[in-house]
């Protein structure tokens, strides 16, 4: 019996990809820029080799234990769905559609007709700024707020008094059904909020993402079909439309997701525990909060020993990310970056450099190979480097 715990630190990039300039992200380095602006204390990730990654102003722990490397994104994108799908084995042949000028009139008109009311907004915006701009009008009219970003998302914000979460989820499902084909955005996102006036509106923890179904088999599908356990924590179930997932805890926020993952690790299972920690991205990256981001990294690092204490000799821990969201970069959008790969299993001796991987999908191949599942993704496994 083996357990692989795959923890995605949402948006924790480690330096601009070679093509970052074409995305407007030249010079981005999420961890690097945080470490330049504050004394980042992450000793457990340093022990796993984080400081050895290129371009990070972090101390190298020469007495560490683990495997370290980074991965390039082969798909054209820098969003949650693209990153998670690629690390699960799907390299997208074309990017999801984006809407820098808002959604076409016919798309909005069809949505308004389906939900029986007009909408506000329909433009790219920061999630907090759009509430300050349109929240009071939303309370007066009852019209939901529709907005997007640089990512392929159709976001719907509504006050929980007017749209209790289940009502908001229902109109998100309507949008998801409509947004297919040419307008098949990666995610429809429910953005519930509370508060009574501009400056006092606050988004709640009842966010939900409604993704397209994966376009090909993922490592979750492969493992589930071959009888392995597949457990998910946080928004993993949303990103994969629950496909290939045996059990899920849709916890909200990093502390709750970490607790949920540890609870799963205390049970007997044979397979994959897939965890997303979204706060790095949603609370700190998009809001360009360097100090908050750094403290969140330190908090996660402080809890790594709880994971390793629950591991048996054959268990594997992988810590990675899905894209960047450099809080010291211009704008409020994701940044196209390398992602870190940090691995640990008991019995490893010293540090092992797994290099720069050509695709996030190497993670999927490695997870399947390590567990003994038959998989053939367009990727290269590094599982043999984890045995020493």
Token pair belonging to 106 = 């016919």
206 and 223 co-located in one domain = no
The answer to whether residue 162 is domain-embedded is yes
Residue in 81, 89, 75 with CA at minimum distance from that of residue 23: 75
Residue in 322, 349, 323, 321 with CA at minimum distance from that of residue 336: 323
297 and 363 co-located in one domain = yes
Query: Is the model's pLDDT at 39 over the cut of 90?
Result: yes
Confidence of residue 307 (pLDDT cuts 50, 70, 90): very high
Could you tell me if 179 and 154 are in contact, meaning their C-beta atoms sit under 8 angstroms apart? yes
The answer to whether residue 21 is domain-embedded is yes
298 vs 319: CA distance, rounded Å: 14
Query: Is the model's pLDDT at 388 over the cut of 80?
Result: no
- Domain CATH for 330: 3.40.720.10
The answer to whether residue 314 is domain-embedded is yes
196 and 236 co-located in one domain = no
Token pair belonging to 275 = 């965890």
Per the structure, how many domains does the chain have?
2
pLDDT tens profile 232-269: 999 999 999 999 999 999 999 999 999 999 999 999 99
3 state SS of 277:
strand
Give CA separation, 261 vs 90, 174, 344, in Å.
Answer: 24, 31, 17
Cα 178 from chain centre? 24
Query: Is the model's pLDDT at 387 over the cut of 80?
Result: no
- Domain CATH for 115: 3.30.70.1250
- Write the DSSP symbol of residue 20: G
* Domain termination residue (choose one: 190, 211, 232): 211
Kindly tell me the burial class for residue 22, based on how many C-beta atoms sit within 10 Å of its own C-beta (0-12, 13-18, 19 or more).
Answer: exposed
Give CA separation, 264 vs 4, 23, 230, 304, 369, in Å.
Answer: 12, 38, 11, 15, 22
Q: Which domain holds residue 257?
A: 3-92+215-386
Query: What's the pTM value of the predicted model, to 2 decimals?
Result: 0.90
pLDDT tens profile 99-154: 999 999 999 999 999 999 999 999 999 888 999 999 999 999 999 999 998 889 99
The answer to whether residue 100 is domain-embedded is no
117 and 189 co-located in one domain = yes
Residues contacting residue 248 through CB under 8 Å, at least 6 positions apart: 231, 232, 233, 236, 237, 242
The answer to whether residue 296 is domain-embedded is yes
243 and 346 co-located in one domain = yes
3-class DSSP string for 324-379: ECCCCCCCCCCECECEEEEEECCCCCCEEEEEEECCCCHHHHHHHHHHCCCCCCCC
pLDDT for the residue numbered 246 = 98
pLDDT tens profile 202-226: 999 899 999 899 999 999 999 999 9
Token pair belonging to 240 = 């994969």
Q: Average pLDDT, whole number, for the chain?
A: 96
The answer to whether residue 98 is domain-embedded is no
173 and 188 co-located in one domain = yes
83 and 170 co-located in one domain = no
* Domain termination residue (choose one: 163, 196, 211): 211
pLDDT tens profile 140-161: 999 999 999 888 999 999 999 9
387 vs 380: CA distance, rounded Å: 16
The answer to whether residue 264 is domain-embedded is yes
75 and 156 co-located in one domain = no
10 and 78 co-located in one domain = yes
112 and 143 co-located in one domain = yes
User: Taking the CA of residue 162 as centre, how many other CA atoms within 13 Å lie in the half-sphere pointing to its CB?
Assistant: 22
224 and 202 co-located in one domain = no
Token pair belonging to 269 = 């299972």
Looking at the DSSP bridge assignments, the partners of residue 316 are 4
143 and 253 co-located in one domain = no
30 vs 271: CA distance, rounded Å: 31
Looking at the DSSP bridge assignments, the partners of residue 155 are 147, 189
The answer to whether residue 246 is domain-embedded is yes
- Write the DSSP symbol of residue 78: -
* Domain termination residue (choose one: 177, 211, 245): 211
Q: Angle at the Cα of 79 (from 329 to 209), degrees rounded to 5?
A: 120
373 vs 223: CA distance, rounded Å: 7
């Amino acid at each position: 019996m083996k357990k692989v715990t795959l923890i995605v630190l949402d948006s924790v990039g480690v330096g601009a990809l070679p093509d970052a300039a074409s995305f407007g992200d030249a010079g981005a380095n999420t961890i690097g820029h945080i470490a330049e602006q504050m004394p980042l204390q992450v000793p457990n990730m340093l022990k796993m080799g984080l400081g050895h990654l290129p371009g990070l102003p972090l101390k190298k722990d020469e007495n560490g234990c683990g495997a370290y490397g980074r991965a390039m994104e082969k798909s054209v994108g820098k969003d949650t769905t693209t990153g998670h799908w690629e690390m699960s084995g799907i390299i997208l042949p074309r990017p999801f559609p984006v809407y820098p000028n808002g959604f076409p009139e016919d798309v909005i008109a069809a949505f308004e007709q389906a939900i029986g009311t007009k909408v506000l907004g329909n433009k790219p915006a920061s999630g907090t700024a759009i509430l300050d701009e349109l929240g009071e009008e939303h309370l007066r009219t009852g019209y939901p707020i529709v907005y997007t970003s640089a990512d392929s998302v159709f976001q719907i914000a509504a006050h929980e008094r007017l749209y209790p979460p289940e009502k908001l989820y229902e109109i998100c499902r309507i949008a998801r059904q409509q947004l297919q084909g040419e307008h098949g955005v990666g995610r429809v996102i429910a953005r519930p909020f509370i508060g009574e006036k501009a400056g006092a509106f606050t988004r709640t923890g009842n966010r939900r993402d409604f993704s397209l179904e994966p376009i090909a088999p993922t490592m979750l599908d492969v493992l589930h079909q071959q009888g392995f356990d597949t457990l998910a924590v946080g928004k993993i179930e949303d990103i994969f439309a629950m496909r290939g997932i045996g059990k899920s805890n849709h916890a909200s926020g990093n502390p709750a997701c970490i607790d949920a993952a540890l609870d799963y690790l205390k049970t007997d299972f044979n397979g994959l525990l897939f965890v997303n920690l979204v706060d790095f991205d949603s609370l700190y990256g998009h809001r360009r909060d360097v100090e908050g981001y750094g403290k969140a990294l330190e908090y996660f690092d402080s809890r790594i020993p709880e994971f390793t204490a629950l591991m048996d000799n054959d268990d594997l821990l992988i810590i990675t990310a899905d894209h960047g969201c450099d809080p010291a970069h211009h704008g409020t959008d994701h940044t196209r970056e390398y992602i870190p790969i940090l691995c640990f299993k008991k019995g490893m001796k010293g540090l092992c450099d797994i290099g720069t991987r050509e695709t996030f999908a190497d993670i999927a191949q490695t997870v399947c190979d390590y567990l003994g599942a038959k998989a053939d993704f367009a990727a290269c496994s590094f599982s043999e480097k984890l045995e020493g």
